[in-house]
Chain A
Amino acid sequence: MKHRTPAFVAMIAAGALALTGCSGSSGDDGSDVSLQMVETLTNPARQKILKELIAGFEEENPGVTVELVSPPNEQALSTLQQMLQAGNGVDVLEVQDSTVGPFTANDWLYDMNSDLADWDGWDALTENAKSFANEEGPTYLVPYGFYGLSLFYRTDLIEEAGFDEPPHSWEDMIEMAEAINDPSANQYGYAFRGGTNGASNAAAIITAYAADEIDPENAFLLPDGSTVFATPEAEEAMTDYLDLFTNGSPPSSIAWGYPEMVQGFASGSTAFLLQDPEVIATIRDDSTLEEDQWSTTPLLVGPSGKAAQPLASAGWGVAESSEHKEEAVALVEYLSSGDAPLTFAKGNSLVPIVTAAQDDPYFAEGPWATYVSMNTDPDTYMNVVQPRAVEWWTEWEKKADRELQSMLLGESTPEDVLAGWDEYWSEKYASEK
């Protein structure tokens, strides 16, 4: 017995290890339903709100429990992909506009359209939300909110520079930024985005300049199928954009991503910042700026007097592999109707999905009013869809960021870059047909 013990212990250990690796996680006992909900853009504040909303859902639906899975941000997407590929463990999931393409290509998402046919929540949704949820079907997600750009500006700095109102067009803003720009005093005009996702802001100016030409269903294309990058408007936009960088922005902003831009504006180094509404909270909480030193104004328009609002969104969807689709859809409905979407949008600084937001003082006053007012003037602030769901979107983002940086470094011209982008998108769409 004496020598058997260590061998025995070791074998037990090995056996236990093997078993842990193999065991499944089926917890389906009795009539109670347990849903797994996976989020991919997580943070502690958001988790808290989600858990409160989930508690409300569980109260309304006795016998259903929801377990929220929140993998750390950097690994969230790959974790979710592995879970979906494994084919179990996910019932409700966060679907981003950039993941809906690959997820549906793999048949991972369930089309909720027929389940939502009698849903009374449709009427409360804004037009944008309805179009993102695709009321006609297939419905792979119901959005929980929108990210939208508006211009943050310094009221005191533009006044000192001799302007009496905030810029309305890109042209106005470039003029003001260049007037305010004074590198020797560490004072700059515009918080330029040259680093990660820099190309998304380049797309904002290009689509604003070409707003009259583009196809609102796909802002990168014209109705005839050619790309926006080949238009003379795009070239004009890109040339102005380079001018804004050279004469109105900090030279180091080639490397600026989200944190540097926000820091640049909040610290008072730059007078203008094009950003999402979530920055409102950051500037209020953590800035040297007084409340009367800054404000927001709608997205800048191009020479045609229009701007193309590239709404980015994400929402909740149901996994094709879910064994409790009925309950899962009920959870999506709960999160998308009543007070839940407003609570979620406020807590996460999102443009809300329900029309009731217009009557909510939180959204109707102060810096938030800009976002709501943009939504009430769709002729000027056209809602357009960027083709974020195409399979090559991530590849495009990386490529475009890199090439924009080379243009800012002076290694290529706006014409070169646009010609390359035109070729890229034309080839991609041609190969799809």
Chain B
Amino acid sequence: MTTTLPERQATPPAAPAGGPSRPPASRRRAFTRRRALTIAAFLAPAFVVVAVFTYYPMLSGSLGAFRTWTIYNVAEQPWTGLDNFRGVLTDPLFYGTVGNTIVWVIGSIVPQFVIGFALALWMRRKFRFRGIYQALVFFPWAVSGFLIGVLFRWMFNSEFGVINDLLMRSGIVDSPLPWLATPALAMPAVIIANVWYGVTFFAIMILAALQSVPDELYEASALDGAGKLRSFWHVTVPYIRTTLALTVLLRTIWIFNFPDLIFGMTGGGPGGRTHIVTSYMISITQQGEYGRASALGLIVMLVLAIFAVFYLLATREKKEAYR
């Protein structure tokens, strides 16, 4: 697998000679043009797929936000400047969905994080059938969000649902609660479904991180007299901080962009009380108003990008403060 001498001479130095001695050819292959070409050729399919199926539609969809683009006349899409954005921002329903989104994201992520963390800590210990149990815990993640929405729609059904049945049998309530028909109960109901669904992801990620914490650290902290709680706060948490921060960031973005469950469960009702920004965006798309939906999509992207930047800055500062 060594390159021939003429080829190597024809190739300009691959990297600036940083150190006085280059690693021997047997350990590090010279970066030849042919090699560059090979790498590029292998990357090309992935690059082409991503460019054609992700970035091109994204770009063309984004341009749609500045055009009159509706199902009623797909052929003509005149530019309209910021009209679509104005349409979104002057829509009274939009602000309701923003409030709902905040409740939905925070209400979902906090319990998901806490329960997911607890599950991960528990599954880290070795016990019989741990593998089977892990598989069972991770199972919900493999099910489609819409399907979960439909399942929970029946579970929360006032007359035939298992939740009211359990609550009434255990004497917690006297009469069935109209979960999905009451504004005050509908949002908690969709959040409960989402927590059930999303706990799994936290459990997977945190468990993987926990398994990377070396046992020696726990042994050392035990020798120093640290109890379980102390070693948790001072060994476990700092060690997996990066994973925690990234998982929370990812989940925040995903929950924000997770209208599937809401669509299956309430369709945004009652009276729009469970519509989040992204489910509202889909309902605008269903009305054939692609331009306005694109504008809303761009607003969502912008908000999430700003959130991600601030979030990453905030978590990095904390990390540095610890040093």
Interface residues of A (CB under 8 A from B): 2-3, 6-7, 10-11, 13-14, 17-18, 21, 81, 85, 101-102, 105-107, 183-184, 186, 194-196, 250-255, 257, 260, 263-264, 267, 269, 391, 394-395, 398, 401-402, 405-406, 408-409, 411
Q: Which residue of B lies closest to A18 (CB)?
A: B48
Q: Within 8 Å CB of B52, what residues of A?
A: 21
Of the listed stretches B9-17, B67-75, B133-141, B198-206, name the one at the interface; the rest are far from the partner chain.
Answer: B67-75
> Quick check: is B178 within 8 A (CB to CB) of the other chain?
yes
- A411 close to B271 (CB less than 8 A): yes
Q: Which residue of A lies closest to B286 (CB)?
A: A394
CB pairs A–B below 8 angstroms (25 shown)? A3-B1, A3-B35, A7-B38, A7-B41, A10-B41, A85-B74, A105-B73, A106-B74, A107-B75, A183-B175, A195-B267, A251-B178, A252-B178, A252-B179, A253-B181, A254-B181, A254-B269, A255-B270, A267-B159, A269-B159, A269-B160, A394-B287, A402-B272, A405-B270, A409-B183
CB neighbors of A among B139-162 (8 A): 157-160
- B287 close to A395 (CB less than 8 A): yes
- A195 close to B42 (CB less than 8 A): no
Q: Which residue of B lies closest to A99 (CB)?
A: B71
The answer for the CA separation of A13 and B43 in the assembled complex, in Å, is 11
> Quick check: is B283 within 8 A (CB to CB) of the other chain?
yes
Q: Which residue of B lies closest to A407 (CB)?
A: B271
CB contact under 8 A between A252 and B159, given known A6-B38, A21-B52, A398-B287: yes
- A260 close to B157 (CB less than 8 A): yes
Interface string of B177-213 (1 = CB under 8 A from A): 0111101001000000000000000000000000000
Q: How far is the CB of B60 from chain A (nearest CB, A)?
A: 13
- A6 close to B160 (CB less than 8 A): no
- A398 close to B73 (CB less than 8 A): no
The answer for the CA separation of A160 and B35 in the assembled complex, in Å, is 87
Q: Within 8 Å CB of A81, what residues of B?
A: 71, 74
- A106 close to B75 (CB less than 8 A): yes
Q: Which residue of B lies closest to A14 (CB)?
A: B44
Q: Which of B42, B159, B283 contacts A6 (CB under 8 A)?
A: B42
Which 3 residue pairs across A and B have the least CB separation, nearest first?
A252-B158, A10-B41, A252-B178
Q: Within 8 Å CB of A409, what residues of B?
A: 183, 270-271
Dominant secondary structure at the A interface: helix
Q: Within 8 Å CB of A267, what residues of B?
A: 159-160
- A102 close to B71 (CB less than 8 A): yes
- B159 close to A264 (CB less than 8 A): yes
- B44 close to A10 (CB less than 8 A): yes
The answer for the CA separation of A106 and B176 in the assembled complex, in Å, is 49
CB contact under 8 A between A251 and B270, given known A14-B41, A409-B183: no
Q: How far is the CB of B69 from chain A (nearest CB, A)?
A: 12
Interface string of B55-77 (1 = CB under 8 A from A): 00000000000000011111100
Q: How far is the CB of B280 from chain A (nearest CB, A)?
A: 10
CB contact under 8 A between A406 and B271, given known A102-B288, A252-B178, A253-B181: yes
- A252 close to B48 (CB less than 8 A): no
> Quick check: is B24 within 8 A (CB to CB) of the other chain?
no
> Quick check: is B37 within 8 A (CB to CB) of the other chain?
yes
CB contact under 8 A between A7 and B270, given known A252-B158, A254-B181, A395-B287: no
Q: Which of A14, A85, A251, A398 contacts B48 (CB under 8 A)?
A: A14
CB contact under 8 A between A402 and B287, given known A106-B74, A194-B181, A264-B159: no
CB contact under 8 A between A101 and B72, given known A14-B48, A252-B159, A263-B160: yes
Q: How far is the CB of A423 from chain B (nearest CB, A)?
A: 15
- A251 close to B41 (CB less than 8 A): no
Instruction: Given contact pairs A13-B45, A106-B74, A186-B176, enumerate 19 new A-B contacts (beta carbons under 8 Å).
Output: A6-B41, A7-B37, A14-B41, A14-B48, A21-B52, A102-B72, A105-B72, A106-B73, A106-B75, A107-B75, A250-B178, A251-B178, A251-B181, A252-B158, A252-B178, A252-B179, A391-B72, A406-B271, A409-B183
Q: How far is the CB of B100 from chain A (nearest CB, A)?
A: 13
Q: Within 8 Å CB of A406, what residues of B?
A: 271
Q: How far is the CB of B45 from chain A (nearest CB, A)?
A: 5
Q: Which residue of A lies closest to B38 (CB)?
A: A7
Q: How far is the CB of B155 from chain A (nearest CB, A)?
A: 13
Q: Which residue of B lies closest to A12 (CB)?
A: B41
Q: Within 8 Å CB of A21, what residues of B?
A: 52
- A254 close to B270 (CB less than 8 A): yes
The answer for the CA separation of A13 and B287 in the assembled complex, in Å, is 40
The answer for the CA separation of A253 and B270 in the assembled complex, in Å, is 10
> Quick check: is B34 within 8 A (CB to CB) of the other chain?
yes
Q: Within 8 Å CB of B272, what residues of A?
A: 402, 405
Q: Within 8 Å CB of A13, what residues of B?
A: 45
> Quick check: is B289 within 8 A (CB to CB) of the other chain?
yes
Q: Which residue of B lies closest to A7 (CB)?
A: B38
Q: Within 8 Å CB of A7, what residues of B?
A: 34, 37-38, 41-42
Q: How far is the CB of B176 from chain A (nearest CB, A)?
A: 7
CB contact under 8 A between A405 and B271, given known A85-B74, A395-B287: yes
Interface string of B214-228 (1 = CB under 8 A from A): 000000000000000
- B267 close to A14 (CB less than 8 A): no
The answer for the CA separation of A253 and B181 in the assembled complex, in Å, is 7
Q: How far is the CB of B179 from chain A (nearest CB, A)?
A: 7
Q: Within 8 Å CB of B3, what residues of A?
A: 3
Q: Which residue of A lies closest to B266 (CB)?
A: A255
The answer for the CA separation of A105 and B75 in the assembled complex, in Å, is 10
- B45 close to A251 (CB less than 8 A): no
Interface string of B115-128 (1 = CB under 8 A from A): 00000000000000
Q: How far is the CB of B95 from chain A (nearest CB, A)?
A: 15
Interface string of B258-289 (1 = CB under 8 A from A): 00000000111111100000000001001111
The answer for the CA separation of A107 and B72 in the assembled complex, in Å, is 10
Q: How far is the CB of B51 from chain A (nearest CB, A)?
A: 11
Q: How far is the CB of A16 from chain B (nearest CB, A)?
A: 9
Q: Within 8 Å CB of B70, what residues of A?
A: 391
The answer for the CA separation of A355 and B109 in the assembled complex, in Å, is 60
- A106 close to B179 (CB less than 8 A): no
Q: Within 8 Å CB of A10, what residues of B?
A: 38, 41-42, 44-45
The answer for the CA separation of A252 and B186 in the assembled complex, in Å, is 11
> Quick check: is B25 within 8 A (CB to CB) of the other chain?
no
> Quick check: is B132 within 8 A (CB to CB) of the other chain?
no
Q: Within 8 Å CB of B321, what residues of A?
A: none
Q: Which residue of B lies closest to A395 (CB)?
A: B287
Q: Within 8 Å CB of B229, what residues of A?
A: none
Q: Within 8 Å CB of B41, what residues of A?
A: 6-7, 10-11, 14
- A252 close to B38 (CB less than 8 A): no
- A394 close to B288 (CB less than 8 A): yes
CB contact under 8 A between A2 and B271, given known A105-B72, A106-B73, A251-B158: no
